[in-house]
Amino acid sequence: MNLQEITQEIGKLKNWSLGNNAITKNFEFKDFKESMDFVSKVGEIAESRSHHPDITINYNRVKLSLTTHSINELTKKDFEVALEIDGLD
């Protein structure tokens, strides 16, 4: 994807950031259980689309990072998964 396409796609998302050939978003929850419930839902999305984010869990905070690992670049699939994850909020 070129920069114009990336800018257009990231504009459709809620609070995702661009950097290092990936888009990232931080989430905060009430406690660890809520964090894990969210990660489980993200896992279902990832499996259904065969496209998996990098996930970091710190008690009540979750950081997701999406990139297409096979080419180390952003693709339309990253933005599609991010948009579906945004629907969980």
Q: What is the pLDDT of residues 24-71, one digit of tens each?
A: 999 999 999 999 999 999 999 999 999 999 999 999 999 999 999 999
CATH of the domain at 15: 3.30.1360.20
Characterize 63-87 residue by residue with b for buried, 16 or more Cβ atoms within 10 angstroms of its Cβ, and e for exposed: ebbbbbeeeeebbeebbebbebbee
Q: What is the model's pTM?
A: 0.93
Q: What confidence tier does 4 reach under pLDDT thresholds 50, 70, 90?
A: very high
**Cα–Cα distance, 48 to 42 (Å, whole number):** 10
Q: Does the structure show a pLDDT above 90 at 89?
A: no
Q: Which two tokens stand for residue 36?
A: 């894990």
Q: Span 18-23, mean pLDDT? A: 94
C-alpha distances in Å from residue 46, one per residue of 7, 8, 54, 64, 85? 23, 23, 10, 12, 9
Boundaries of domain holding 11: 3-86
Number of domains in the chain: 1
